[in-house]
Amino acid sequence: MGDALTATAGLWLAVVVSGIYHGINPGMGWPLAVSAGLMDGGRGALVRALGALSAGHFLAMIGILLPFAAMTTLVAWEHQIRIGAALVVIGFGGWLLIYRRHPRFLARIPPSRLALWSFLIAIAHGAGLMLVPIYLGLCSTTDVDAGHRAASVLMAQGAGLSLAVAAVHTAAMILSGGTIAVAVYVWLGLKFLTKGWFDLDRIWALSLVAVGGIGLWTTVQ
C-alpha cells in the first residue's frame, strides 16, 4: 500500500514538474505574453495573454489525454497500450532531435489568436505526449476489482483523471511561465532574452525520449 502511494505521489509530482518545465520553455509562449504587455502598454494585456496561452495549452493536453482515457476501457490490452504509448513518445522525441525546424504554419497565426497558437504549438512539440506515460501510470486498472471494470465506469474515471492531470499540469505551466513573463516585463526587460536565455529545443526532444523510456521501463518491469 505504501509503495503504491509513493508511486502515485511520484507520478503527480512528474505532472507538476513537466508543467513547470513547459512553462519555463520560451517555446510555449511566455515571451509572447511579454510582447503583448509591452505593445498594448499594460499589465492587463500581459495577464490576458497568459490566460489565452493557458487555455490553449489545457485544450491541447485534453485533446491528447482523452483518447487514452477511452483506451483504458480495454483492460485486457492495458500493458500493450502503455508500451505502444511509450514507444510513440520515444519516437516523436527522436524525430524532433533529427528534424528541428518549427512548423511553418505556426508563423502564420496572428498574435491576436494566442489560444489557438498555444494549442497548436503544444500539439506540434509533443507537450501532450509527454504526459501520456505519466497519465497511463496513474490510471492503471490492474488493481480495479471486476465489479468496477465496466466500460462506462472506467471511461468516467479516465476522463476525470485526464481533466485533473491537464488542469494541474497547465496550472504549473502558467505559474512558472507567467512568473518569468512578469519578471521580464517589470524588472529584467527584453535585453534579458538576448543575453540570459538558451535554446531548449534539444533538451525538449531528449526529455520526450527520457519520459517515454521511463514509461516503457516501468511497464515491462
Output the tens digit of pLDDT for each of the chain's 221 residues. 556 677 778 888 888 988 998 888 887 888 888 888 877 667 888 888 899 999 999 999 998 888 887 776 665 567 777 788 888 888 888 877 787 665 565 656 665 688 888 898 888 878 888 888 888 878 764 444 444 455 555 666 777 888 999 999 999 999 999 998 888 887 776 666 665 555 566 777 788 888 888 777 777 66
Listed residue (84, 88, 68) closest to 166, CA to CA:
68
> Distance (Å, rounded) from C-alpha 162 to C-alpha 168?
10
Give the span between the Cα atoms of 146 and 138, in whole angstroms. 18
Round to whole Å and give the CA distance between 196 and 193: 6
Range of the domain at 212: 2-220
Distance CA 54, CA 174 (A): 6
The total number of structural domains that make up the chain: 1
Q: Is the whole model's pTM more than 0.85, yes or no?
A: no
Q: DSSP H helical segments within 72-200, as ranges? A: 78-98, 114-124, 127-138, 151-183, 191-195
Residues 53 and 29: their CA atoms lie apart, in Å, by 7
